Structure 1
Amino acid sequence: MQFSIPLRRNPERAAHFLFCGFMIFLAAFLLPLSTKAVNNIYYTLVLLPLVFTLDRETLRDFHCSPLVNLWYALLGYQLLSYAWSIEYSEEFVPNLKRLFYLYGLGLVIFVLVRSGKPLSRWVIPAAPLLIALAAIGNMLWFYSAHDFPQARLVGASRISNPIFFGSIAAAFSAAALVQWHGWSRRYRLLLLLAVAVNLGIIYLSQSRTALLGVGVCIGSLLLVLPRLRWLALACAAALGLLALVVDWQPLLARGMSYRPDIWLAQWQRVVESCSALFGCGLGVNPQITLEPTHNLHHPHSIYMAWVVYGGLLGLAAYLSVLGLILRASLKVERLLPWVALLLVGLGATMVDGDKLLESPKALWLLVHLPVAVLLAEHARARRKDAPVTAGDPLRSDAGAVQ
């Protein structure tokens, strides 16, 4: 008797199982769970089913897109920077595992997109509402148990940390607002309420990274998408009105939070001890001490982290690949929510974050998730047997469709 795995015999059931597991994984980010617990959910409900449903055809179709290959080559470059690291580190194997986890994320989303699962129709409209509800619960717990100045630091290493919660709330709110004309009147009212709550959460958590991300998103939409300028201007006006009615002193009291000093110290170390072109390698310990009792464990910027680990060459590669992804995606109306989400993430990570090779954390929602969706859509469109729609910018042969 021949043995076969049930999920392999029924691709539709396998995709449905993956979709349910992935939705549970995303929902886990909103719960006060430890990073390890979220990781275990990802391994059990997402990666494990993927292993049993993956085949050679899926891998071939996934890698038919040059953008997919460029993105994972970029992540591989960051890992390979261990080769010229100035320090010994035992983190090579853990970072190799994280690279495979991120590769698995891309494959899972590609399987879901290719099978027609309504990822965008579920995630984009539901996320701002669920984030607002979860944020209210988190803030009630934070601010009832701790004094205001210290409350924003509670829950370190958890997604419920309000430092990151504000950025996530801003990113998914922007993604839903971009599709404003596509929503019903009832949902628009719910969305406006959720956005108001999320703005309050951003203010209470003193999340300037979130405000920077929103600013980058608004500025980008104003520059490159004339048809969405009304939305960008409306958001800018709402933020301006908010600035007039609230007390911004708690938000401004911390100044720049050592950011210029951190970046200058990191740059000086790269220039003096390593190579400005190739950086210090991923094995280096990025910790610096600005004051006798003030140790900082990472560069506090994704972009500066690229300089530290991969040098100016790594930073240029990161910006170039992201630019190619955004350039291709801005042409496609249905991808604009994910573009907006990514733009907020790219803005927020200007002043926070470390290396790209991370286990499931806030960076996944702000950067890796939208990038994975955009790449999956491009890979799906390049499949020879994919349905061709006239005028689809993702298909080079779309113009020939009559």
Structure 2
Amino acid sequence: MDSRRLGLAWLTLGLLWFLIGIAWVPSTKLYQQGLIVLFWLPAVWLSWTQRRFFVDVWRIEKPLVVALFALLVWAAVSVIWTAAEEPVREAKRLLYVVFFLLGMVLVGCAPLRMTAVLQWAGLGLALAASAALIYHYGVADMPWAWRVVGLGVLDHPIIGGYVFGMALIWWSCLPPRRTSLRLAWAAGLLMLFTFTVMTQSRGVWIALLASVLLMPTWRAGRAGLIMALLLVVAAIVGFWLFGEYVVARGTSYRPEIFAASVGMILDKPWLGLGLGSEYQVKALGRMFDHTHNLFTHVALELGLPGLVLWLAIWGRSLAIAVRERDTTLGNMLIGLWVFCTMALLFDGANLWDSPRPEWFLTWLPVGLAMGLMGVRAPSKCYHPRLLTCERSLP
């Protein structure tokens, strides 16, 4: 086997580990060690051997690449004034992001392979959602009012709900070709939807509702409209049955946290606190460990320059998805971008932490956008047979 194709297979396995391992691996440490072996190493090796390909990517999509480079440099420079206990360790985490994005570009230049990875990952996460529901409400005999949590690293209802909600979005855009497999696909979507509902996380519900309701605007045909109508009906029925639980928890201090965060940003608007600085937000006499909004967190940590650069990256990722909306992956990325944007407005916590579930909401959409860039590069980094650039998959 050609060494480049072997490297792609190695990298593909690493991407599957990133997407599925999060729900099955019992500890964050083991999950991250697996990423080093299966994703970081092949990403670095292939990036060096395919230097010409990355030069072409740079020429095709300078706005996103420049914004990413500038944000990484600014974050690294902020180590000078950070209050973090281990500045070098904080700076090292920037390399994790670089390795991840390099790997996403390399896998993305073979769109059929990327699609297959996301299909298998959707299946793996659907099985994980099913296992969690069976264990908690069946084996452990938890009451139905209890908030479900995932297995593995997804042992929190909010972050677990967001990861499975994202899987619901991307898997719904990738139906199998064979009719005989569509029943299993539909059952998996039902399990993912049930899990997101049973987390009782209103941020997850709002993100899912917004992305599905807007889906008909970029996804032509009856499928998107039917999904939107079904979700509206489910939302109405759910609120009628469980509305008192939704209202009882109020706004969870989100408006007060946002107002207090803005005040903290204005204290250091240009430099911010520095990369990895710990802080607490005081709202209504209570202390919170982060701003519960990624955009205010970035502004607080890296100042307004960091916020502007992140908004440029996030906005350019959407622009690439819209440009490629006629492709399967581009269409899917728009839905994920809407979902993640809503999620980050309510529960965004960190941008630079070591690989963990929060990366699904931040760096995965950016990585998918960069993968769509790689398709357009004139230098093909793998065997031509792997690089079929379809405009739409059946």
TM-score (norm 2): 0.82
Q: Report SS of the residue matched to 1:104.
A: helix
How many angstroms apart in 2 are the aligned matches of 1:390 and 1:203?
A: 36
The amino acid that maps onto 1:17 is: W
The amino acid that maps onto 1:127 is: A
Equivalent in the alignment of 2:371:
376
Equivalent in the alignment of 1:108:
103
How many angstroms apart in 1 are the aligned matches of 2:367 and 2:149?
A: 30
Q: Which runs of 5+ in 2 are unaligned?
A: none
Cα contact 1:30–1:131 (8 A) shared by 2: yes
Q: How does 1:314-325 map to 2 (within 5 A)?
A: 314-325=306-317
Which has the higher mean CA deviation after the structures are superposed, 49-58 or 104-113? 49-58
**Pair 1:69 & 2:66 matched:** yes
Cα contact 2:110–2:389 (8 A) shared by 1: no
Cα contact 1:109–1:373 (8 A) shared by 2: yes
1:55-90 CA deviation, whole Å, 9 max, x = no partner?
A: 3435434534312332243343344334455xx222
How many angstroms apart in 2 are the aligned matches of 1:222 and 1:84?
A: 47
Report the CA distance between 1:375 and its aligned residue: 0.6
**Pair 1:134 & 2:131 matched:** no
The amino acid that maps onto 1:205 is: T
Cα contact 1:18–1:108 (8 A) shared by 2: yes
Q: How does 1:118-129 map to 2 (within 5 A)?
A: 118-123=113-118, 125-129=119-123
Change (3 A) 1:96 1:319: same
Report the CA distance between 1:278 and its aligned residue: 4.6
Cα contact 2:71–2:309 (8 A) shared by 1: yes
Say what the alpha-carbon RMSD is for the aligned residues: 3.2
Equivalent in the alignment of 1:96:
91
Equivalent in the alignment of 2:322:
330
Report the CA distance between 1:14 and its aligned residue: 2.0
Picking from 37, 41, 45, the partner of 2:30 is: 37
Equivalent in the alignment of 1:399:
none
Equivalent in the alignment of 2:212:
218
How many angstroms apart in 2 are the aligned matches of 1:179 and 1:259?
A: 35
How many angstroms apart in 2 are the aligned matches of 1:161 and 1:279?
A: 30
How many angstroms apart in 2 are the aligned matches of 1:32 and 1:137?
A: 13
Report the CA distance between 1:318 and its aligned residue: 2.2
Change (3 A) 1:201 1:158: same
Higher RCO structure (Cα 8 Å, ≥6 apart) = 2
Report the CA distance between 1:330 and its aligned residue: 1.6
Equivalent in the alignment of 1:281:
274
Change (3 A) 1:359 1:221: same
How many angstroms apart in 1 are the aligned matches of 2:390 and 2:40?
A: 35
Aligned residue pair count: 375
Which has the higher mean CA deviation after the structures are superposed, 60-69 or 130-139? 60-69
Q: Which runs of 5+ in 1 are unaligned?
A: 1-6, 393-402
Cα contact 1:300–1:352 (8 A) shared by 2: yes
Q: How does 1:6-17 map to 2 (within 5 A)?
A: 10-17=3-10
Report the CA distance between 1:342 and its aligned residue: 2.8
How many angstroms apart in 1 are the aligned matches of 2:219 and 2:144?
A: 41
Report the CA distance between 1:253 and its aligned residue: 2.5
Report the CA distance between 1:198 and its aligned residue: 1.8
Picking from 279, 287, 297, the partner of 1:295 is: 287
Report the CA distance between 1:192 and its aligned residue: 2.5
Cα contact 1:61–1:380 (8 A) shared by 2: no
Change (3 A) 1:274 1:29: same
1:213-268 CA deviation, whole Å, 9 max, x = no partner?
A: 22332354344x2625x444323321222134332233332221111111111111
Report the CA distance between 1:186 and its aligned residue: 3.1
Identity between Structure 1 and Structure 2 (%) = 23
Cα contact 1:279–1:307 (8 A) shared by 2: yes
Equivalent in the alignment of 2:297:
305
